[in-house]
Amino acid sequence: MFIIRPTEDKDLDPILELWENCGITRPWNHPETDFFRKMTQKDNLFLVAEKDNTVIGSIMGGYDGHRGWIHYLAVHPSHQRIGIATALMQNIERRLIAVGCPKVQLMVRADNTSVIDFYEQLDFEKIESVSLGKRLIKD
Ligand SMILES: CC(C)(COP(=O)(O)OP(=O)(O)OC[C@H]1O[C@@H](n2cnc3c(N)ncnc32)[C@H](O)[C@@H]1OP(=O)(O)O)[C@@H](O)C(=O)NCCC(=O)NCCS
C-alpha cells in the first residue's frame, strides 16, 4: 500500500532521483531549484507517493487564479501500472477544486503518446494551441 502526502524538504534527494529515473528532467531546467521554488509557495500542491518510507511518485500542481497546472508527474518504473499516477492526479484535482480552481491543464510532448493515453483515460482533452515561453530569471 502507498500513501500520498505533501512534499517535505527531506524529500529533495529521493525526488531528484525519481525524476532522473523517470526521464523527466531537462537540460534547460534545474530540478533542485524547481524543488525549492515550489516549496516556498507552501500551497500543499506538491505531493509525493510513498511506500515503505520510499518515495515512488510525485506530482507538482499549481493554481494561478485562472487555471491549475500539473508538472512533474512521475512514478518509479518499478511501480508503474498499479494506479499510483491516477491516485496522484485524483488527489491533486481534489486539492485544486478545494481552492476554487475551475480547470486544469498540462503540457506533454506531442511524441509522448503513452503519456497522452494516460491523460486521455482521465478525461483530459487535447487543446490546439501554441505554447510560448520567456525566461525571466537566468538560472
Ligand atoms: C505516465 C506515468 C506517470 C503513469 O504512471 P502509472 O502509475 O503507471 O499510471 P497508472 O497506473 O495510474 O495508469 C492508469 C492507466 O493509464 C494508462 N496508462 C498508464 N501508463 C501507460 C502507458 N505507458 N501506455 C499506455 N497507457 C498507459 C492505462 O490505461 C492505465 O491503466 P491500466 O494499467 O489498467 O492499463 C508513468 O508512466 C511515468 O512516470 N512516466 C514517465 C514520466 C512521464 O513521462 N511523466 C509525464 C510527464 S507530462
Q: Which three cell numbers stand for residue 130?
A: 501554441
Distance CA 6, CA 41 (A): 12
Q: Where are the domains of the chain?
A: 3-120
The reported pTM is 0.97
Q: How many CA atoms lie within 13 A of 73 on its CB side?
A: 24
The model's pLDDT over 89-103, given as tens digits with 9 standing for 90+, comes to 999 999 999 999 999
Counting beta carbons within 10 angstroms of the beta carbon of residue 136, is it exposed (0 to 12), middle (13 to 18) or buried (19 or more)? exposed
Q: What is the dihedral of CA 49, 52, 56, 57, to 10 degrees?
A: 0
CA-proximal residue: ligand 1, atom 31 (nearest): 81
Architecture of the domain whose range is 3-120: 3-Layer(aba) Sandwich (3.40)
The CA-based angle 129-135-139, given to 5 degrees, is 140
The model's pLDDT over 7-57, given as tens digits with 9 standing for 90+, comes to 999 999 999 999 999 999 988 889 999 999 999 999 999 999 999 999 999
Ligand 1: does its nearest atom lie under 6 Å from the Cβ of 105?
Answer: no
Predicted pLDDT at 27: 83
Ligand 1: does its nearest atom lie under 6 Å from the Cβ of 24?
Answer: yes
Q: Which three cell numbers stand for residue 20?
A: 532522473
Distance from residue 115's CA to the centre of ligand 1 (Å): 6
